[in-house]
Structure 1
Amino acid sequence: MASGDPEIEVSPLSGTVTRDGVTVELAIYRMAGANEGWTLEVVDATNTSTVWDDRFETDDEASAEFQRCLDEEGIELLLAGDVAPSLH
């Protein structure tokens, strides 16, 4: 890793999620040593990324928002070409 590259801390809550036969990669991460909050990102099978605009104070909050989105809006909303999830 080059000296100018930031170090990324990945939450243990990140991983592969499958619902209704659709699989996405859930990524919850932040800059190591920074107090800027956690980023929530979902990557679909076509390698298209959906990133929430807001950062989360904890990785648990980011994970809870992802679950809320799945429960209320469905995983299909996160697939390429669909509208980004409503952000709260």
Structure 2
Amino acid sequence: MSNAPKTEHSEFSGEFEDDGITVLVDIFRPAGTNGDWTMEVISQTEVVTSWEEPFATDNDAWQEFLATAERDGLKSFLEDSDPSVH
């Protein structure tokens, strides 16, 4: 049996593809709570980009992902030279 806390995933979580690049957007919080949401983006090569600050709503997290993807492109999530933290 695992003691890992259960998580609730947002309906915004899932694969996102643009210009031939696919990433997994994972927006989650502890299950059964009204707590803040955490967001991670995982590339095809398993580079994980995490945001340090939580989001009040899952929509806030999703909008931040879209803004980052628009500003920096999905290629910014593929870089493994420095662990990406936003």
TM-score (norm 1): 0.85
Please list, as runs of the form range in 1=range in 2, the aligned pairs for 1:4-43 lying within 5 A after superposition. 4-43=3-42
Residue 47 of structure 2 contacts residue 77 of structure 2 at CA under 8 Å; is this kept in 1? no
Gaps of 5+ in 2: none
Per the alignment, in what secondary structure is the counterpart of residue 15 of structure 2? strand
Q: Which has the higher contact order (CA 8 A, sep 6+)?
A: 2
Separation (CA, whole Å) in 2 of partners of 1:40 and 1:59:
9
Identity among equivalent pairs (%): 35
State the Cα RMSD in Å: 1.7
Q: Residues 5-31 of structure 1, C-alpha deviation per residue, up to 9 Å, x if partnerless? A: 211000010000001110000100011
Runs of 4+ in 1 over 6 A off after TM superposition: none
Per the alignment, in what secondary structure is the counterpart of residue 57 of structure 1? coil
- How far has the Cα of 1:73 moved from its partner? 1.1
